[in-house]
Structure formats: C-alpha cells, structure tokens
A and B are shown apart, each in its own frame.
Chain A
Amino acid sequence: MAFDAIFQPIEIGKLTIRNRVVSTAHAEVHATDGGMTTDRYVKYYEEKAKGGCGLAICGGSSVVSIDSPQGWWSSVNLSTDRIIPHFQNLADAVHKHGGKIMIQITHMGRRSRWDGYDWSTLLSPSGIREPVHRSTCKTIEEEEIWRIIGDFAQAARRAKEGGLDGVELSAVHQHLIDQFWSPRVNKREDQWGGSFENRMRFGMEVLKAVRAEVGDDFVVGMRICGDEFHPDGLSHEDMKQIAAYYDATGMLDFFGVIGSGCDTHNTLANVIPNMSYPPEPFLHLAAGIKEVVSVPVIHAQNIKDPNQAQRILEGGYVDLVGMTRAHIADPHIIAKIKMGQIDQIKQCVGANYCIDRQYQGLDVLCIQNAATSREYMGLPHIIEKSEGPKRKVVVVGGGPGGMEAARVAAERGHDVTLFEAAEALGGQITIAAQAPQRDQIAGITRWYQLELVRLGVDLRLGTRADEATLLDLRPDIVVLATGGQPFLSQYPEWGYSETPEESLVVSTWDVLSGKVAPGKNVLIYDAICEFSGVSAADFLADKGAKVEIVTDDIKPGAAVGGTTFPTYYRSLYEKEVIMTSDLMLHKVYREGDGLVAVLENEYTGALEERVVDQVVVENGVRPDEALYYALKEQSRNKGQLDLEALYAIQPQPCLSEERAEAGDGFLLFRLGDCTAPRNTHAAIYDALRICKDF
C-alpha cells in the first residue's frame, strides 16, 4: 500500500494516533479573549482533524504563568481555570473527526516582551538579555522557580480537565526550561545551575510535578532542540545526554525534536526553514535523539511532501513527522493522500508568510491558501459546486489572484476562460522564482496550473485580452487581475524611459526575468525593502556582478520577514554585496560609457555619487488600470464591490440581481495589484472571497 508508513497508527503513552502525521506546536496568534481558544481557534484545528491529521499539538508557547506574557502573540493562556471549557470545545471538535489534540505549555522566561500588557518583569536563570526580542530580564529567584513549577502542573491539569489528550513541555526555542539547560544562558552557581544535574533540575521538577498532577493516563511529552548551534550552547551530544536523562525517568511519553536553537536572528531562521533550505535539513539531529530514547520521537522541519514523509518514516529516522506548514497550506493533505489525489495537494512552498506574520504578532495566514485560519468566517477549503446558474466567467491575468479566481469559479462549476499575456501562468511569482534560493515559490503556480487543467479552465496563454476579445465571449462575469508594472516613472530625475535604449534605470523585474543582461557594476536602489530588491541583488551577485544595494529605509530587506532575511543576508554577505541604508536615489545621469547615480542622505541631505554600469530601481508596482476603465462603464456593477458583504464573507449582492435575459451585461470585479499593489496573499484572498459565491 502506498504511504503505508504514514498510515500506521502509533501509541503515544496510552493514546492511539491514527497516523504518523502531526501538526506540531506553533503560535497561531488566534487565541483571543485573554488567551482563550475561541471559535477561530477551534475551527482552525477542526479543519486539520477533518482533513485527517493524526495529532495536532496546538498552542505553541502557551503560557502557564501570569508573568509569561501571552498578549503579544495571542497565545493560549493556561494560567487560569477559565480556559477549561474552551478546551472542551476544542477537544470535542477534533475528537469528532478522529483526531487527537495536545497543547504545548511553557514559561517563556526571558524570551518575550515586557513593554506592554501587565508590564511583566521577565525572568531567566541569570538575567541575561535576549537579542531577538531585545528583552531584558531579572534573575529568577528560588521562590519564583517553585511557583512556576506549580504553574506547569496546574496548566497540565487544566489541559486534562479540558479533555485534551496531552501536553508538550516546551524545552526548545530558549524557553525557561532550556534557558536553565543551556550554559550559554544559565550562569547560576546554586542548585539550579552549574553541573549537568543542576541545570537539568528545573525541567526535572517541572516534569515530576506535571506527572504527579495528571497521573499515568495522560500524555506528557517534551519538545527539545537537537543542537543549539552556538559554540557556547548545547551541542548535539549534550542534547542526546539530556534526552536520555529525561527519558530514563519513564515519565515522558514522547519527544519532539527541532534542529537548532533560536535566540538569534540567524538561528531562528533554521527553526522554520524557508524555501532556501533542503528538505528535512535537521532530520539527522532528531534521528540522533531517537537513538537514545525509548519513546516516540516527532520531528518537524521542512517536511512538506507525502513521499518525503513516507521515506523518513520508512527509514525509521523518527516515529512521527511534523507537517505543520504543510497543513497550513492544505489542511486536507492526509485526505488527499488517501484519495490518491497527490497532485491536488497544495504544497507548502516555504515562503514563511505564516511564521513571519507571527513574529510580528499578526495572525498566522498562508501566502497561498486564504481559507486557512478563516474557517470560522465560512471560507471553504473545498469549494462546493454552485446550485445557481452556470455562468461564463472570464478572468484576465494569470498571476496568483487571477489563477485563484479561475480555480474558484471553475470549482463552482462555471465555464471559465483565463487570459494571460505571458506564455506561462504565474505573473509576478514567475519573476520572483528566478532569484537564487527562491525557485520554490513557483510551487504556488505549479499547483494552480495542475488545478486549472484538472478543472477544465480554458487557458489562453500568450494572449493579451482586449475589450473586444472579452466581450466577444459574452461573459456573465469579468474578473480583472492584470497586475501592474514597475513604478519607475515616479521621479523624472531617475531618467526612466519607456524606450529601453534611452532609459537610465531598469527594474528588478527586468533583471530577474532576464529582459536585460546583468551589469558588471550595479547599483540597486530599493525603496520597498521587500523581496524584489534583495532577490535582484542576490541574482546579480550570483551572475558575477559587483552589487551595492541602497535604500532610504532602515536596511535593505528590512520588510522581509524574520525567518527569511537571514538567509538573504547569508547569501549577500558571502557574495560581498554592499548593503547601504539611509540613502535616497536623487538622480541618475549618463557619463561616458557609464552611469552616475547621485544618492542623497535621508538625514543630512548630503549627496554622494556612484559610478556604475547599471542602475536597478525597485519602487513597487503601478496598477495596470487601462482595461478596467475600458470596461467599467459597460459593466452592470460599474466595477464596484460591496465592501460590507465582502468583509462579512457574504455574496456580492449584484450576483443575485435580476437580469432581463441571460447574457445581458456582465459584472466586473478587479483584484490584486491592478487595484493597488499589495501582496500574493491579498490577491488570493480577494479572489477567494469574491469568487466563492459565483
């Protein structure tokens, strides 16, 4: 049987898990009402259970104590009995579909923020500052240690009383337990620091207290890291020793293993490996832990594909695979494996939109699946066929917004035609995928390509739609997702011209798409600081150019998320790309064979010049509105959206308006960058919420 290793049930403690796939603990940033798991939270996990996930460990970094702030990341609050009925709802929703659910519990120690909510004083073994959150803390006192140990036990009791199947003690990501473990942070000389046993003591007391509270018939596991990757931190051998030490107590039912510590920006990037990493980059660390423990080991990190999961499980490296982002991208992944619909799985591409939002305290969303974590609003993962009239839907633009619009309309059962001027689908994704380390972003397009063909959408590639072609099809609905063009004309001094030979600047699109050849000595001016600028820099440097990337913002790549800018920086520094901030591109002029870029310091107004042979400007996108205005007046709804309906995920009222006869006039919607430049998720979200009621 294909994928039999995945579908082999396993016992964790006294609990039977129906398969080997886990959605591991991650911060959802969904727990509202003071850290309660309300409707959104429950529906998010119910969808995973419905989709076949064996075990979900929810609530990454759910706090056990009042002085471990939860508000910053809307994490779950187990410091109060008020959580118990909410857990009951959560447990029922997951159990109803045969899934199991546990929660990660922790005290985050120094790894948090103090400057808000209760203005807590953060704690850590030796009061050493944590750099990622820029957080200072006090040295924890004996009384506080024992209080927190008690808090862990009470939190575990609440999880059990709420009907959850277990708890995972977080001793990973530099939370309080592993802050005690790591000599890098724990400099104590009392019974809580120094020797191995002393450094282990806090975690051991937590484990004993928790086990004593919940008894034997409740799962208690522990998540640890496989190697902190710091010379002064815990090595893999240290971690094996620690794992074996706790395992020997017989009080733990499983281990979760994450490769890499995460108390610096650079190690944090390892923890949730983005698309630049190879598959399962840290499996060997988890396998090392498995060698020394007697209970099941769970490992997540860049396991996205069922074949990969099968191979890992078959090889016996670990007992369960975490496919957490894989579930964020497609909560029905298991069901699709079982139905033999492997090609229909929306596979995580490692864009890390989810986790990068989380680190900003924003709710976790998927770059390519707008229904994820919006289940409570009624946004569907499986689009049902419409019971209403079959419509002729014409979509213009094969970027993410257009592809989603075509997919959703086709799933509704309509007759869909999609025009794309380029020879292939993808829009800006195709350009983005040209950069080194970014090729996997094209996975978004690949899925849509497969789905659109499967759904029988009439794909007119290499065809630029004009008003006449569109109206010839007698559409009932026209969806415009025509995107836009690089906005190089904002400042005439930049010397941009639509005639390539006369233009003094080129765009990052020109460079990445290969439309212009890479220069040898290049200045990139990046006013946006998102992916395009650093991608172009990485691309040009990769082609051998000397590159300086300049921005008037804080730093090049400043708006790229926390798990991805480090991998850019690794590459850019290695290729000796110069990153300069606080300079604006004032003017470009030609001098001899070269170009002179005049840069102005944001803060002093001082000018400086660079003599280069190519100036690349990243200044965002200017919407392409021509077709919209050509069609707007003829459309029945004048191109307008009913925002109240849109935001309430209700059908657009114009869809149900009576018409004199079928084919009499059309509705016009536009979405994505042709309205205003936003991002992939925004385009896909608009496409889904508008088209789901077609």
Chain B
Amino acid sequence: MLDTLLPILIFSALALAAIGAVRRVRLWRQGRPSAVPLLKGLAALPRRYLVDLHHVVERDKVMSNTHVATAGGFVAAAVLMILVHGLGLANPILGGLLLAASATMFVGSCFVARRRRNPPARLSKGPWMRLPKSLMAFSVGVFLITLPTVGILPADAGHWLLALVLSALVVWGLGELVFGMAWGGPMKHAFAGALHLAFHRRAERFGEGNRSTGLKALDLEDEAAPLGVEKPADFTWNQLLGFDACVQCGRCEAVCPAFAAGQPLNPKKLIQDMVVGLAGGSDAKYAGSPHPSQGLGGKPVGEHFGAPHGPIVAPDPMTGGKALVDAETLWSCTTCRACVEECPMMIEHVDAIVDMRRHLTLERGQTPNKGAEVLDNLIATDNPGGFAPGSRLHWAADLDLPLIADLQQVDVLLWLGDGAFDMRNQRTLRALVKVLRAAEVDFAVLGNEERDSGDVARRLGDEATFQSLAKRNIATLSQYRFLRIVTCDPHSFHVLSNEYGELGGHYTVFHHSTFIAELYDAGRLAFAPWKGGKVTYHDPCYLGRYNGEYEAPRNVLKALGIEVKEMERSGFRSRCCGGGGGAPITDIPGERRIPDMRMNDVKESGAELVAVGCPQCTAMLEGVVDASAEVRDIAELVADALVMRPAGGAVDATRRPAGKTTAEEVI
C-alpha cells in the first residue's frame, strides 16, 4: 500500500510546494528591481551557506551542530526519499543512506526539541514550537518506512493500520517541511534563506575577511525611484526576500541596544513586520517579544497591519493612526549593526531601517525631535551643531596647524570631524596633534574647508544632504595630494572610507589608533610605562563592526603597558554606546539609557578607566551620571605617555600618574 501511497504523497507535496513557491516568489517580486547576477548568485550559494553563514551559526556550537544534523539530515533524506520512495529506486545502498540521513535528522530534532523545552525569550514561539515534533515525525516516519527497503523488515510487515500511521507521520513531515517551506511555515527560512543568500544585495560581504557596511546611495537623479521606502513594495525584491528568510531566532533581539534599553525597537519583530507587510495582513500571529513600549512592557500585538502597497508608517503620526510600524521604532536604531553581525540569515536590518527613514525625512519631513534642526544646521552651516563654518579651527588657534591649502601635498591629511566643535573632543584632537608632532608626521588639516562627512545626515535618512556634503568634500579633497587620511572619528572614517567611493571619492583612511599603532611599530613613538589602574576598551561600532578594526586599539594600549580588562561584550559583540545613527538626536525614550548600560558593562569589568576611540562614544559615556570609570580617548592616553627622545640620549621616563587630565592637554 505504501508503495502506491508514498509516491503520491511525495509528488503532491512537491507539487503543492512548487505552487506555494511560485506564489511566494510573486510576493517578493512586488519589490523594486535589483541588479543581482542570478546564476552567479546561485553558483555562489553553497560557499555562502557552508562558509559565510556557517561562521555566524557556529558562534553557538550546540546550535550549529544541531542544525548541521537536522538540516543536513533532512536535505539528504528528502533527496533520497524522492529517489527511493518517490521513484521506487529501492536500492539497499540508497535505502541505507536514507536510514542514516533520517536517523541523523532525528538526533538533530531531539536537540531542537530540547531547545524548545524551555526556550529563551528571544526565540519566537507559535508554530515554531511544533517544529521539533514535525521534524521528529518526518525523520521517524521516513526511517520506519525505509526499513523494509534495506530488508530489515519484510515489505509487507505490519498491519495496514501501521502503514496508515506511518503515512500520517510522513504526511505531517512532508506538510511541515516541504509544503510549509513554500507556504509560509517555519521551514520557509530554508527556502527563502537559500535564495536570499544567492541573491543577497551585498554580494561583496561574502568571502573570507570581506565586509560590506556602507549604505547604498539613492539615485537622486532618477525621478521614478522613490525617495526611500514608504511601503513594503518600495524595497527591492531581494530585500523582501531577505526579510522572508528570517528564522526568528532572536539573536538580533538579544544584542540590540535599543531593545535592551526598552526603546520601542525589536529588530526581529521589525523584520517580521516587513514579512507581514509583503504578504499583507496584521501582526496578530507574531509569537515573539514585541517592540518594547514604555510602561506597557511591550506594544500589543495585533494592532498593526500592512499591505505591500500600503504605508509602513501611518501618514500622520499626530492622529495616532497605526500602520505596520510606528515611526519611533525606526528612530530608535543606533545603526550599531549588532543585529546584522549576529544574524545567521545575513539579513540587513540597518539598510532597511535607513531606507524607511529616508522616506520619513525626505518625503514627509518627519525627522523627530532635534532631527530637523540638525539637518537644517547641516544644510546651512555644513555642521550638525550649526556652528559658524569658519570656526572649525577655533580649538587650535594656538597650535599653528598646517593647512593643506598652503602645502598642497602632505603625507597625512588629518580629518577633524565635527568633534572639532566639541570641547571634549578638542582635547582628543589636541592630544592627537601632539602625538603626530612627536612622531614628526608630515600632516596638515583642511581647516575651514572641511565639512561634516555626512554621516549623521545619511543615518537620519537625509540622503540629499549627505550627497551634497560628500560631493563637496570630494571636490575639496580632489584639489590636494595626500597619501592617506587619518581621523579620530570612526564615523568620518567609515563614511570617507566606505561610502564616498560610490560618489567617486576613493581614499586610504586610517583610524588614529591604527595610525598610532603603525607609528609605534615603526619606532617613531616611545612611551613611559603605565602607572594607572585597570583599563578596559570600548569598541566603537563604526570602527569595529563596520570596519573590522579590533586589534590596533588594543595593540596601542598594549604598547602603553596596559593590560586590557575586556568587557563581556567586546570586539564584534561590543555593545553600542547609544550615540550612533543619530539616535541621541532623535532621542526616542526608553526604560533605560544605552550609555548607562554600557558604563555598567565597564563597571563589571572592574576597570577604573575606559579607553575609547570615538568622539560619540566619549560623549555618550561621559554623559553617564555617577560613572565609576573615567573615559579617555586612546590619543589622550598616548599623548600622556609620550616620552620625547632627545637625540641620542636616554628617554625621559618621568611621568605623571595616569588618570588626571592636565590643564595643558585641555587648552
């Protein structure tokens, strides 16, 4: 009986799946076009899956092994089952392999089941809770029906009732794993995920050591193209596909600083909101942690709804209307990329958020709180603070800094960033100048010719202002000759290095820690031994996750004689200070403040001083009330430790105990 039934079941499941797949593909294709090479992408898929994706999954060893067993077992079992039971190739070898595959899958399923017994908050529940059972049903069913194939049991063993039970198990399994894959069940992730990997909009992020973190430019000349994303269909089709790949594992939720601070953003929910939008409907079926909501614990599920061609954010926020996502959710993001870094499905949350912000800012003028003011300032003064453009060098009035306009050609162009207007950051800049001079670096500054890099404008969605700033900066830079740009601002670093290229500006950019490490290695700097207390290092998102520079700052600290007490969240898992993405400007309230949480991380490390390498981080962390640790930029620590080497003489090793800023460094 099974011999007749199984091929029918298998092929109808496959047929239904094919129908579902076509429907799903049509949903994705509501998105705008995206030029990705389809065949090349498909060809790259195995490597992207087995290497790039696996690197991420492997961070959780147990889960990684579980997935290898379950998914690997399933893929093998499915193929073999089609051969053995679908096409009737009842070969004992194939049967043996099928038994092994389904057994492996069963073992994996047990681990999946174990994980689901007491699931962490980040995991979505709902249909996901039945998945281990479905996996088990499939693997057990396939295993049992295959036993006769290899002759362990006679072909007609058991009662017809048993055959019926086994068929039911197989139907359940096929339903979940094959039909469900294409019709929106939990297994959708395998189908959408595989295609997402193949057609990923950032093909360049795959491959050993590669990363792709710069935002993609809007084509402002194309009048047909929407300015950002108003409705789900405004995303490119492969972005929609990417959302659909979400496996709801909640790793993004676990690392999101805004979520932890109780701000109304859960990146996982946001991606699911997009999935609701692309298919149409409400979020009622969402079974994970909601977007936090002050006082309520979480925004109630089921009150938001969307459609592919309906607005994502309700047009008039003043009337309190709801659509798919509340604007405050989008403005809570610090663009720290912790979610992207952790996502095993390689989903690009930050791109999506900025795309939606672009619409709110460019089309609706709804950048909240200080956002509009900051953008106006950028437009009027080329800096976010609205300072007189001619005052960018005021902090250095007594330093006699060389201007590149006077020299035309230097080794190093020191990019000041907008920290030049900030009294705290001016201390860092002065320290950096001291270091450059001690190492006799041939450097100059643009001075008043420098403009804001455009980072904040871009992250606030004002692509037009970003491009205007970027193009003018590129035009200025093109007048001069320099080997590289050095900056103490990772945001400028990132934008100059990764986002100007698309607009025609290609530069070698160094973060100051990288440059200082290089100077030290070249023997151009000498330091007196560290006498201060315990030190930890806070990785700036735009230096670490965005640009992969984790080592140079640590090497500089090591050269200073400091043994870094690492925080639990450090390196690629560093927790954001809360200062990125214009978040301090849009200032969406939460239960806690992100920098407070970060300072608590510092406290837990036992450090009395936290070394930083970013003006934003410095500002955010120093803004913490009753902080237990002092905040110093790496440049300041280096400047403090400098020993001037008299020609041929011994170094002067006198040094003040660390920790106290002298007036001299300040003024």
**A and B assemble together:** yes
Interface residues of A (CB under 8 A from B): 1-4, 7-9, 16-19, 50-52, 97-99, 332, 334-336, 338-340, 382, 384-385, 387
CB–CB B387/A17 < 8 A: no
CA distance A97 to B434 in the complex (A): 12
State whether B423 touches A384 (Cβ < 8 A). Answer: no
Known A-B contacts A1-B387, A8-B391, A384-B657; A17 and B397 likewise in contact (beta carbons under 8 Å): yes
Q: Is the interface of B mostly helix, strand, loop or mixed?
A: loop
Question: Mask for B654-667, Cβ within 8 A of A = 1, else 0?
Answer: 00110111111011
Asked if B421 is at the interface of the complex by the 8 Å CB criterion, the answer is yes
Interface centre among A51, A335, A387 (most CB of B within 10 A): A335
Given the interface contacts A99-B398, A338-B426, A340-B424, does A382 sit within 8 Å of B660 by beta carbon?
yes
Ranked 3 nearest A-B pairs via Cβ = A98-B398, A52-B667, A335-B663
Report Cα–Cα, A304/B418, bound state, in Å: 30
- Asked if A52 and B660 make an inter-chain contact with CB atoms under 8 angstroms apart, the answer reads no
Neighbouring A residues of B661 by C-beta, 8 Å: 339
User: Are B423 and A98 neighbours in the complex by a CB distance under 8 Å?
Assistant: no
Could you say which residues of chain B place their CB within 8 Å of the CB of A4? 387, 391
- A338 CB contact (under 8 Å) in B397, B656, B666: B666
Whether B663 contacts A340 by the Cβ 8 Å rule is no
Hey, which chain B residues are within 8 Å of A1, CB to CB? 385, 387, 421-423
Q: Is the CB of A52 within 8 A of B399?
A: no
Contact B660 A18, beta carbon cutoff 8 Å? no
Bound-complex Cα distance A335 to B662 (A): 8
With contacts A7-B395, A98-B398, A98-B399 taken as known, whether A51 is within 8 angstroms of B423 at the C-beta atoms is: no
Asked whether, in the complex, the Cβ of B657 is within 8 Å of the Cβ of A338, the reply is no
10 A-B pairs whose Cβ atoms sit less than 8 Å apart in the complex: A1-B387, A1-B422, A7-B423, A9-B394, A18-B397, A50-B662, A97-B667, A340-B423, A340-B424, A382-B663
Docked-complex contact B387 and A97, CB < 8 angstroms: no
Q: Is B427 an interface residue (CB 8 A)?
A: yes
- In chain A, what residue has the closest Cβ to B662? A382
Q: Could you mark each residue 631-667 of chain B with 1 if its beta carbon is under 8 Å from any beta carbon of chain A, else 0?
A: 0000000000000000000000000110111111011
Interface string of B414-430 (1 = CB under 8 A from A): 00000001111011000
Q: A332–B398 Cα gap in the complex (Å)? A: 17
Contact of A338 with B421 in the complex, beta carbons under 8 Å: no
A631 to chain B, nearest CB (A): 33
Centre residue among A1, A382, A385 by max chain B CB count within 10 A: A1
> Which A residues touch B659, using CB under 8 A?
385
B392 to chain A, nearest CB (A): 12
**Bound state CA distance, A52 and B427, in angstroms?**
12
* CB within 8 Å for A16 and B397 given contacts A1-B423, A338-B423, A338-B666: yes
A332 to B663, CA, bound (A): 7
User: Are B666 and A339 in contact (CB-based, < 8 A)?
Assistant: yes
B667 and A384 form a contact (CB under 8 A): no
Most buried by A among B657, B659, B667: B667
Alpha-carbon distance between A19 and B421 when the two chains are bound, in angstroms: 14
Interface string of B118-136 (1 = CB under 8 A from A): 0000000000000000000
Whether A52 contacts B394 by the Cβ 8 Å rule is no
When distances are taken between beta carbons in the complex, the residues of chain A under 8 Å from B663 are 50-52, 332, 334-336, 382
Contacts of B426 in A (CB 8 A): 338
Q: Which of B387, B656, B662, B666 has the most CB of A within 10 A?
A: B666
Cβ contacts under 8 Å, B395 to chain A: 7
Taking the closest CB of chain A, its distance from the CB of B432, in whole angstroms, is 16
- Residue count of chain B within 8 Å CB distance of chain A: 24
Point out the residue from A19, A338, A385, A387 that lies within 8 Å of B427, measured CB to CB.
A338
Most buried by A among B398, B657, B660: B398
A304 nearest CB across to chain B (Å): 19
Bound-state CA distance A642–B657 (Å) is 29
> For A338, what are the chain B residues with a Cβ–Cβ distance below 8 Å?
423, 426-427, 666-667
- Bound-state CA distance A340–B421 (Å) is 14
Q: In the complex, how many angstroms separate the beta carbon of A262 from the nearest chain B beta carbon?
A: 33
What distance in Å separates the Cβ of A608 from its nearest Cβ neighbour in chain B? 59
Bound CA–CA A97/B662 (angstroms):
12
Taking CB as reference atom, which chain B residue is nearest A100? Answer: B398
What is the distance, in angstroms, from A685's C-beta to the closest C-beta of chain B?
A: 22
B221 to chain A, nearest CB (A): 37
Q: Which of B397, B422, B662 has the most CB of A within 10 A?
A: B397
Chain B nearest CB from A100 CB (Å) reads: 8
Task: Judge whether A51 and B667 touch: CB under 8 Å.
Answer: yes
Which residue of chain B is the closest to A10 with respect to CB atoms?
A: B397
A333 to chain B, nearest CB (A): 10
A448 to B500, CA, bound (A): 53
A98 partner residues in chain B, CB cutoff 8 A = 397-399, 667
Contacts of A335 in B (CB 8 A): 663-664, 666-667
Q: Which of B397, B421, B656, B666 contacts A384 (CB 8 A)?
A: B656
Question: For the complex, what is the distance from the CA of A283 to the CA of B663, rounded to whole Å?
Answer: 29
Q: Is the CB of B657 within 8 A of A385?
A: yes
Report the nearest B residue to A17, measured CB to CB: B397
In whole Å, how far is B622's beta carbon from the nearest beta carbon of chain A?
8
Give bound CA distance, A334 to B395, whole Å: 13
**With a CB–CB cut-off of 8 A, which chain A residues contact B666?**
52, 335, 338-339
Tell me the bound Cα distance from A18 to B399 in angstroms.
9
Q: Which residues of B contact A8 (CB under 8 A)?
A: 391, 394
CA distance A340 to B631 in the complex (A): 14
Q: Return chain B residues, CB-CB under 8 Å to A384.
A: 656-657, 660
Assess the B664–A50 pair: CB atoms within 8 A.
yes
Task: Please report the C-alpha to C-alpha distance between residue A19 and residue B424 in the assembled complex, in whole angstroms.
Answer: 16
A339 to B664, CA, bound (A): 11
Which residue of B has the minimal Cβ distance to A7?
A: B394
What 1/0 mask marks residues of chain B from 375 to 392 whose CB sits below 8 Å from any chain A CB?
A: 000000000010100010
CA distance A384 to B658 in the complex (A): 10
Please state if A19 and B397 are interface contacts (CB–CB under 8 Å). yes
- In the complex, the answer to whether A2 meets B423 with C-beta atoms within 8 Å is yes
Write out the residue numbers on chain A whose beta carbons fall within 8 Å of the beta carbon of B657: 384-385, 387
For residue A425, give the distance in angstroms from its CB to the closest CB of chain B.
23
Contact A334 B397 (CB under 8 A): no
Tell me, in angstroms, the Cα distance from A679 to B65 when the chains sit together.
80
Closest to B399 in A: A98
13 further A-B contacts with Cβ under 8 Å, apart from A1-B387, A98-B397, A384-B657, are A1-B385, A8-B394, A16-B398, A17-B397, A99-B398, A334-B663, A335-B667, A338-B427, A339-B423, A340-B423, A340-B424, A385-B660, A387-B657
CA distance A339 to B661 in the complex (A): 9
- With the chains together, A18 CA to B398 CA distance in Å? 6
The CA-CA distance from A2 to B424 in the complex, in Å, is 11
**Cα-based distance from A97 to B666 in the complex (angstroms):** 11
Q: Smallest CB-CB separation from A97: which chain B residue?
A: B664
Residues 409 to 457 of chain B near chain A (Cβ within 8 Å): 421-424, 426-427
**Chain B contacts of A50 at CB under 8 A?**
662-664, 667
B394 surroundings in chain A (CB, below 8 A): 7-9
- How far is it, in angstroms, between the C-alpha of A487 and the C-alpha of B659 when the chains are bound? 48
Among B391, B395, B398, B663, max chain A CB count under 10 A is at B663
**In the complex, what distance in Å separates the CA atom of A1 from the CA atom of B391?**
11
In the assembled complex, the CB of A439 is this many whole angstroms from the nearest CB of chain B, namely 30
B423, closest chain A residue (CB): A338
**A525 to B101, alpha carbons, bound, how many Å?**
110
Task: List, in ascending order, chain B residues with CB within 8 A of A18's CB.
Answer: 397-398, 667
Chain A min CB distance to B558 (Å): 24
| Least Cβ–Cβ distance between B119 and chain A, in angstroms | 47
A339 to B296, CA, bound (A): 40
CA distance A685 to B421 in the complex (A): 39
A3 to B385, CA, bound (A): 14
Closest to A53 in B: B667
Residues of A contacting B424 with CB < 8 Å? 340
CA distance A16 to B398 in the complex (A): 8
B41 CB to nearest chain A CB (Å): 49
CB distance from A60 to the nearest CB of B (A): 24
CA distance A51 to B399 in the complex (A): 15
The CA-CA distance from A334 to B427 in the complex, in Å, is 13
CB distance from A560 to the nearest CB of B (A): 34
